[in-house]
Amino acid sequence: MEASTTTPRRSPWTPAFLAVIGGAVLLIVAGVILAVILSHTQQAVTYPANSPEGTVQRYLNLLQSGKLDQAYRMTQITDYGPEGTMTRAEFAQQFASWSQSSHQVTLDSTTSGQGEASVTVQISSFSGGPFGASSDSNRVVFTLTKTSSRWLITGPPYLPGS
């Protein structure tokens, strides 16, 4: 009778194989993280200054910077309170706190014609508080009218987060 020898079967899960699999998984995870980071760090779009979009963009940048007098000069809000036209003091009171939160603005759409335009944006505001960070997102429609060579913002008389 011959003695049979059987060699023990080796498991495919050797340390070298596991290291290769682990490295591949780490590369995939790193790639996904990098893609997410790059997709959220896009350059801000700058619109032409004499366009309705550029006017709204400049207006919101001034509000975010706390430059209320310059922002007020870009408006002609006539649908406000009993007197109709928003005064500089009312404007300052309404928008003074807007710069205390960070905002991200995304253009949704624009319609224009015959010296009037509307610019619809999504405004997301971010702030910290005693219970952690909070965020809020609102759709806002800006109305504008063209007077001679520039656009003036006629509404809304308020913004979310003001």
pLDDT in tens, 90-121: 999 989 988 888 888 999 999 999 999 999 99
148 in any annotated domain: yes
| Beta-ladder partners of 112 | 117
61 in any annotated domain: yes
State how many domains the chain has. Answer: 1
97 in any annotated domain: yes
5 in any annotated domain: no
69 in any annotated domain: yes
CATH at 103: 3.10.450.50
Burial, 110: exposed, middle or buried (Cβ in 10 Å; 0-12, 13-18, 19+)? Answer: middle
pTM score above 0.85: no
102 in any annotated domain: yes
Domain residues for 136?
52-155
